[in-house]
Amino acid sequence: MQGNSLRRRSIAGLPAGSGGALPALTLVGLFFIVPVVALLLRSVTDPEPGLQNYAALFGSGTYVRVFLNTFLVAAVVTVVTIIVAFPVAWMLAIMPPALGSIVFGIIILSMWTNLLTRTYAWMVLLQRTGVINRALMGLGIIHEPLPLINNLTGVTIGMVYIMLPFMILPLVGTLRAIDAMTLRAAALCGASPLQAFRRILLPLSLPGIAAGGLMVFVMSLGYFVTPALLGGTSNMMLAEMIAQTVQSLLNWGLGSAAAFVLLVVTMALYAIQLRMVGARRLGGGL
């Protein structure tokens, strides 16, 4: 310490400054890496060594349908979320802060509200005798209750509701970073609003849309709670199938194999996202 306390010292031969990460590293190594690796090993050893779990997974029409459905739901949710989020983010990026903070407050309130509470609200709202069906029938728009729950419609509504804040908040940042001058210049040079939107605003916000969209897609792929409660048995998603295979069928080998597939797909998409936004900026918007 004497005289050069500012110099970094190496503790017990560890690289300088890495000591603080030891508790975190131990915890994550022991209770995250080890269990996940053990689970993945189980997919090729349980009930006996070999690839039979993967053969069962990709050879069965039921499971392939679960995969396809998972991608379909995630894609639909992502597209709808982008379309709904963009105008809101656009407005939030330019509106007076006093008004904007009300909208931000509502977004944060919905985001922080317990996930099960939000899903429960949609279960009640969307059911056969729920408010939405009654209102539509009362207005004479429909005569029979619409099937809004336990199908793709229900999952999409519930998931878009949950994903919107994750798309809106980063997009506001992207849109705020765009120089309003470029659009003024476009207008001065005779571009119609539609042209200015298509040739300037949209291309400039595309990185934000792509990054946010990919995040929503990845989160939707592995989502469990909302699809399990709002979806139907005929369009089960991968996460629910994994949970069921392990919890009800006690088929750990098959469940582990399905988990491995989900892990690989998620991590691959995550890696793409990291390249797009840069590792340092990831999660910066908390």
Partner 1 sequence: MLLDYDRLGWLRAALAGFTALVAAFLLLPVIFIVLLSFGSSRWLAFPPPGWTLKWYQELLADPAWIDAALTSARIAAMVAILAVVIGLLASFSLVRGEFRGRQLLRGLLLTPMVLPVVVFAIAIYAFFLRIGLAGTTTGFVIAHTILALPFAIIPIATALEGFDKSIEDAAIVCGASPLQARLRITLPSIRIGIFSAAIFSFLASWDEVVVAIFMASPTLQTLPVKIWGSLRADLSPVVAAASSLLVGLTLALMVVTALLRRRLSR
Rule CB under 8 A: is residue 284 a binding residue for partner 1? yes
Closest separation in Å from C-beta 177 to partner 1:
11
Report which residue type is found at 47: P
Nearer CB in complex with partner 1: 64/94:
94
Closest CA to 68 of 221, 192, 268: 221
| Structure-token pair, residue 54 | 């993967």
What lies within 8 Å, CB to CB, of 148 at 6+ separation is 126, 127, 130, 132, 133, 154, 157
Size of the residue set binding partner 1 (CB under 8 A): 104
Rule CB under 8 A: is residue 282 a binding residue for partner 1? yes
Q: How many C-beta neighbours within 10 Å does residue 251 have?
A: 17
Among 64, 68, 72, 121, binds partner 1 (CB under 8 A): 121
Rule CB under 8 A: is residue 279 a binding residue for partner 1? yes
- Contacts by residues 183-186 (CB-CB < 8 Å, ≥ 24 positions apart): none
Rule CB under 8 A: is residue 145 a binding residue for partner 1? no
Rule CB under 8 A: is residue 98 a binding residue for partner 1? no
Closest separation in Å from C-beta 5 to partner 1:
5
Among 62, 114, 233, 248, binds partner 1 (CB under 8 A): 114
Stretch that binds partner 1, among 57-65, 71-79, 140-148, 267-275 (CB under 8 A): 267-275
Rule CB under 8 A: is residue 45 a binding residue for partner 1? no
Site string for partner 1, 181-200 (x = CB under 8 A): --xx-xx-----x--xx--x
Cα–Cα distance, 209 to 217 (Å, whole number): 12
Cα–Cα distance, 48 to 62 (Å, whole number): 23
Closest separation in Å from C-beta 234 to partner 1:
18
Rule CB under 8 A: is residue 129 a binding residue for partner 1? yes
Nearer CB in complex with partner 1: 152/197:
197
Its sign, for the CA torsion 31, 37, 43, 48, is negative
Burial 67-90 (b: 16+ CB within 10 A, else e): bebbbebbebbbebbbebbbebbb
Closest separation in Å from C-beta 139 to partner 1:
15
